[in-house]
Chains A and B, each alone.
Chain A
Amino acid sequence: DADVTQTPRNRITKTGKRIMLECSQTKGHDRMYWYRQDPGLGLRLIYYSFDVKDINKGEISDGYSVSRQAQAKFSLSLESAIPNQTALYFCATSEARGGNTGELFFGEGSRLTVL
């Protein structure tokens, strides 16, 4: 089983619908992230959480919200999806920074299409 699991892997929805992407991890890491990948723009940080009670906005948080339900679970919501939120979304985890490189471990991605 994957260490970082994202569901769903693919989703097609319509403008205005509410969408939730879920992420769970078995690595025991405290830190979790949501990134968005678009061609030519790379990976951009949407939200991140350094522990269950800590949620922070990233570069492009407008139109998104998150919930850290437990150390192992971090979900991303689009309250009212719009076509320019069509993208590949990645969840990632890392250990706390102190003493290590902070390597990110990514899930396999959730492809979202908003019509």
Chain B
Amino acid sequence: QQQVKQSPQSLIVQKGGIPIINCAYENTAFDYFPWYQQFPGKGPALLIAIRPDVSEKKEGRFTISFNKSAKQFSLHIMDSQPGDSATYFCAARGVGGKLIFGQGTELSVKP
């Protein structure tokens, strides 16, 4: 079963738009929620992360919003640029420190 559900699977926005990627989880034991960014031909790399005692975290143009009661979290990319075109994965850390990843979202930012 997929413990972390991510949507949408793909997303196309114009430059300057604000793409939003959503994730939902079931396991309340998850204690850390990172987002990874993957460019074609490369491995994923940590982009930004949040702990469940915080409702929002910003790093540059990237913001995570976290809703603990709804067991949902989302990634917002402000003023998106063509260079942000990549695949984004949400994840959640469970027992033993293992990361469980979402299905991924392929983002395309058009010039």
Contact = CB atoms under 8 A, between A and B. Distances in A.
Interface residues of A, number: 26
A75 B62 CA distance: 35
Interface residues of B, number: 22
A79 to B, nearest CB: 24
A4 interface: yes
B78 to A, nearest CB: 23
Contacts of A101: 32, 34, 49
B103 interface: yes
A92 B43 contact: yes
Contacts of A94: 97
Contacts of B41: 108-109
B44 interface: yes
A99 B104 CA distance: 28
A7 to B, nearest CB: 14
A58 B103 CA distance: 17
Contacts of A104: 36, 44, 46, 99
A44 B89 CA distance: 12
Interface of A: 4, 31, 35, 37, 39-45, 48, 58, 90, 92, 94, 97, 101-109
